[in-house]
Structure 1
Amino acid sequence: MIRTLRLRRGFFLSLTISDTPHYQNVPFEIPDNWGWTTLEEISNYGDCYNVSVTDIADNEWILELEDLEKDTAAIIQKLSKKERNIKGVRHKFKKGDVLYSKLRTYLNKVLVAPKAGYCTTEIIPFNSYCDISTHYLCHVLRSAYFLDYTQQCGYGVKMPRLSTNDACKGMVPLPPLSEQQRIVMEIDKWLALIDQIEQGKADLQNTIKQTKSKILDLAIHGKLVPQDPNDEPSIELLQRINPDFTPCDNGHYPFDVPNEWKWCKMNDLCSFLSRGKSPKYSEDDKTYPVFAQKCNLKEGGISLEQAKFLDPSTINKWDSKYKLQTGDVLVNSTGTGTVGRTRLFDESCLGKYPFVVPDSHVSVVRTYEEINSEYVFAYMSSQLIQQYIEDNLAGSTNQKELYIGVLENLYFPLPPIKEQQRIVQKIEKLFSVLDNIQNAFRSVFVYTSKG
């Protein structure tokens, strides 16, 4: 099959496709009116040339690999030589060139240059001189097929890359120009739809997060479930836990609560409130895990998958009260970005391990049995208390720390025990509905993306 492609300069290039030895092993079947070609046959890498940085004028357009990774035409920056702080040579490219990285990390990052400028020599500017849609070519270069080709012929270990020669020999399935344009329009339509779905997913996640926060806020203010005058007042619960308990009615509490509730301090509710200890770790023994900050997962819940393990010879130094129990509220107490993260422990996560102890970067809030620990967890997870923790951290910007005294003196609005239970049940019901909505949307998103 012979295809003739018109060049911009008025010449013609005839490509012999599919019926010559060079094209016997084509990657996959294509329609009859398509043809196989290569990048070197439909573009002119030779038009690009190297320019010394010292010869590039100030305020020229410069493109670095980090910019290409952002995958958007808005990233080409107009900077002075001093601001660029670059040396050596750069490739010059023209407006409309297809910019393609040779480094494996960026191999699926392709850009149609919106302006003329200069780029690092790790980027190849392809300037098509045939009737080729540059945007169609970009989609081919981003495709799983072409990425697989580049990974097969790439070289290097520390910084794998594609040679210019191999890049130019990369095979391109070529439809007629009008079909290229239709393909680009169809791809753009679906990519726009996916972008809308992704934005909708982000908006939904943000809405669900805000709704959960509002639910917790209503719960700790006594507005999530109705009060029952037949419930035992919480003052009696507190005095049963500690006969010497005396409320400190100083009138400076964070907000008003129902009459049956009573303000106290976190320390009044706890049988154990302490940070963990600095452990001696074992390199070989994997019997006794240590609960660290990373065990409080960022996305929610807890896990011992990344836990380190205690040196068995030091077990006697750990009092039994340090062994975590179901219902313990665990608060990360150090580290910028993680301090204040609050999770509820459940012994079901132990699996084969006999017990787990916390390290010194995690605080344990263990309430008396008469207190509903899930309600305590809800209070500690609320935006109000998370902000309180943030406002009362000590240390430098790079190493924030939550002192145990901040938790001990935290004011706590305690409902009657039966209302605590009703609040927890209501939270679980509402959160379950929100989680189902999020999971259903996630399923639709996965289905749409695959489709």
Structure 2
Amino acid sequence: MVSVLSSYYEKFLATGEVKCIDEEIPFEIPQGWEWCRISSIFQLNPKIEANDDTLAAFIPMEAISAVYSSEYSYYERRWKEIKSGFTQFADGDIAFAKITPCFQNRKSAVFSNLPNGIGAGTTELKVLRPYGETINRFFALYFLESPYFIDEATFKGTANQQRIASGYLENKLFPLPPIEEQCRIANKIAEVVPMVDRYGTAQTKLDNLNVELKNILKKSILQEAIQGKLVPQIVEEGTAQELHEQIKQEKQKLVKEGKVKKSALTDSVIFKGDDNKYWEKLGKEIHCIDDEIPFEIPASWQWVRIKDIFQINPKNVAEDNCISAFIPMQKICATYGSEFYYDEVQWKTIKTGYTHFADGDVAFAKITPCFQNRKSVIFIGLPNGIGAGTTELKVMRPYGETINRWYLLYFLKSPYFIDEAQFKGTANQQRIITGYLENKLFPLPPKFEQDRIVQRIKQLASIMSR
């Protein structure tokens, strides 16, 4: 590849064709350097020949560190165990992860001191081997970790699993200095990286502290809110007991219309007795629930069970060709707000096998870690007012306009709801236990107080985001 009269040209040895590549040149390089295609100066994914019983290194992806250096660990294996079905490499080879997000996190390494100088590992690696001692390995590593290589990459695959596009590495232009200059550059980078790392670590700690402080404040505000400590109580706004009666009337109306089952009318009543203890009455049975009460609430509030004041996972009815929203888990944001995205699809494609919801419904992720990350939303503005999505959602629908949706959302993000949850499942995939949501005690304020609480939380959130 040569520069002639300030333009760059590439000659193809097989055909003798010469073409101008000015539009590909990303930046100017010093005199004495040369632009080269990666495929012309490195062997890519070379193969290893070794005896089956030779000890070798086995390196899975998790054993390669995501840092601006070359840190990795390995397990010793017989070559026959790893020679097939894995990516092979040897001492002096340079490798990087070709899959996201490992690629962007700069999982890359220069291999050295491997058992018998050889190894194999994850198939999600690309391996480069210089021809002889023409390339300083660490200069090549720093190139692979540079913004020029990382940020310009193109990918193929699904949203959850993407790899760099075929040919991206092979055709990438590599700025090649003389070998002595490569060594000086690599040595200088190695000299300054520890200082940058120390600064970066300190800055990261400060950033994390700021984020954690904001999270602590948000959690504290939400906890104060659901305990009735965020805004004063106003007698003229009525009581939660009156609101509870209104909820019962809304349910009776829906039962008469055939929209809700009659079993929804079997509410329990929670009250404070003359003995200053909390009691729950369900039908003719009364029992003390003092040990369930998590904190005191104002006298105008009332403890209720969630199943008594919300419809849980209600169903939609719509025409098959009705355009509706499809919302997988990745389109729900993990925030203290309500952010989500959707794809428009016909109702017939999502009406079975997915969780239903509609405008005004409030939903939260029931699976870890999405649950703890507060993936919860108020659905609004859905196409034709309906949608369906991930089966890992629990959906709640208030009866009429008795509950402020934002008050409910903040309750679902509060430490009381998040931190006390119990789970079942494997270590990698756990869900809240059956009944946790339905039987959870909900601190119910009068409707106007709910509105004032929401307004105050949003005011404080606005101040904290500055």
For the pair 1:379 / 2:411, whether they are aligned, the reply is yes
Pairwise mapping of residues 277-426 of structure 1 onto structure 2 (< 5 A)?
A: 277=315, 285=321, 287-289=323-325, 296-299=332-335, 301-303=338-340, 305-306=342-343, 308-311=345-348, 324-326=358-360, 328-332=361-365, 337-338=369-370, 343-347=376-380, 349-350=381-382, 353-357=383-387, 362-388=394-420, 390-391=421-422, 400=431, 406-426=436-456
* Structure-2 residue corresponding to 1:319: none
One of 111, 134, 140 as aligned partner of 2:143: 140
| Counterpart in the other structure of 2:271 | 248
1:264 counterpart residue number: 304
Residue 277 of structure 1 aligns to a residue whose secondary structure is coil
CA change 1:123–1:79 in 2 (3 A) is same
Q: Distance in 2 between matches of 1:100 and 1:123?
A: 4
Seen in structure 2, the aligned counterparts of structure 1 residues 66 and 416 have a Cα distance that, compared at 3 Å, is: closer
Give the counterpart of 2:314 among 276, 285, 292: 276
Q: Distance in 1 between matches of 2:216 and 2:299?
A: 28
| Uncovered stretches (5+) of structure 1, i.e. residues with no partner | 1-17, 152-156, 315-321, 437-451
Amino acid of the structure 2 residue aligned with 1:274: I
Identical pairs, percent: 20
Cα distance in 2, alignment partners of residues 367 and 236 from structure 1: 14
**1:76 paired residue number:** 73
Aligned to 1:13: none
Q: How far did 1:379 drift?
A: 1.6
Change (3 A) 1:423 1:135: same
Map Cα deviations across residues 38-64 of structure 1 (whole Å, 9 max, x no partner). 799xx998xx9944152423xx54446
Query: Shift of residue 380 of structure 1?
Result: 2.4
Change (3 A) 1:74 1:158: closer
TM normalised by structure 2 equals 0.61
Structure 2 CA distance for partners of 1:367 and 1:201, relative to 1, 3 Å? farther
Question: Taking structure 1 as reference, are residues 279 and 193 closer, same or farther at Cα in structure 2, changes over 3 Å only?
Answer: farther
Task: Summarize the Cα distance change of 1:189–1:337 in structure 2 as closer, same or farther, 3 Å threshold.
Answer: closer
Q: 2:231 aligns with which of 213, 225, 232?
A: 225
Is the contact between residue 338 and residue 377 of structure 2 (CA under 8 Å) also seen in structure 1?
Answer: yes
Is the alpha carbon distance of 1:199 and 1:367 closer, same or farther for their aligned partners in structure 2, counting shifts above 3 Å?
A: farther
1:173 to 2:177 alignment? yes
State the AA in 1 paired with 2:214: I
CA distance in 2, matches of 1:295, 1:30: 42
Code of the residue aligned with 1:309 in structure 2: it is Q
Q: 1:136 to 1:375 in 2, by over 3 A?
A: same
- Cα distance in 2 for residues equivalent to 1:426 and 1:146: 47
Check whether the contact 1:44–1:129 (CA below 8 A) recurs between aligned residues: no
> For each residue in 1:211-243, what CA deviation from the matched residue of structure 2 results, as whole angstroms up to 9, or x when unmatched?
322221121222333445665343344345558
Distance 2:97 2:369 in 1: 35
CA distance in 2, matches of 1:307, 1:366: 25
Deviation per residue, 1:388-426 (Å, 9 max, x gap)? 5x32x67888684765x6544332222344433332222
Deviations 1:248-273 (A, max 9, x none): 331342222233332223345x3x51
Q: Is the 8 A contact 2:58 2:74 kept in 1?
A: yes
Q: Secondary structure at the match of 2:311?
A: strand
User: Do the aligned partners of residues 430 and 114 (structure 1) sit closer, same or farther apart at CA in structure 2, a change above 3 Å counting?
Assistant: farther
The answer (yes or no) to whether the contact 1:225–1:423 under 8 Å persists in 2 is: yes
Where 1:412 maps in the other structure, the secondary structure is: strand
Tell whether the 8 Å contact from 1:221 to 1:256 is kept in structure 2 after alignment.
Answer: yes
Which amino acid in 1 is paired with 2:298? P
Question: How much does 1:74 deviate?
Answer: 3.4
- 8 A Cα contact 1:149 1:170, kept in partner: no
Residues 280 and 395 of structure 1: is their aligned pair in 2 closer, same or farther, counting only changes over 3 Å?
Answer: farther
Check 1:78–1:281 CA distance in 2 against 1; reply closer, same or farther (3 A cut): farther
Structure 1 counterpart of 2:82, which letter?
I
Structure 1 SS opposite 2:342: coil
What CA distance in whole angstroms lies between the structure 2 residues aligned with 1:98 and 1:394? 45
> In structure 2, how many angstroms separate the alpha carbons of the residues matched to 1:213 and 1:187?
37
- Whether the 8 Å contact between 1:65 and 1:101 is mirrored in structure 2 is no
Give the C-alpha shift of residue 428 in structure 1. Answer: 0.9
1:205 matched to which residue of 2?
Answer: 211
Distance 1:288 1:149 in 2: 36
C-alpha deviations, 1:125-177, integer Å up to 9, x for none?
448747x76433422344455679999xxxxx99946999x89x955134745
For residues 311-347 of structure 1, the C-alpha deviation after alignment (integer angstroms, 9 at most, x for no partner) is: 39x9xxxxxxx97343x322456x5655696634253
Report the secondary structure of 1:73's partner residue.
coil
Shift of 1:370: 4.1
Distance of aligned partners of 1:55 and 1:254 in 2 relative to their CA distance in 1, 3 Å threshold: same
Q: Which residue number in structure 2 is paired with residue 87 of structure 1?
A: 83
Letter in 1 for 2:142: H
Q: What is aligned with 2:29?
A: 30
TM-score with structure 1 setting the length: 0.62
1:104 is displaced (CA, Å) by 8.7
Gaps of 5+ in 2: 1-7, 14-19, 155-162, 250-266, 273-278, 280-289
Could you tell me which residue of structure 1 aligns to residue 259 of structure 2? none
The AA in structure 1 aligned to 2:81 is N
Normalized per residue, which structure has more strand?
2
Please give the secondary structure, in 2, of the residue aligned with 1:54: coil
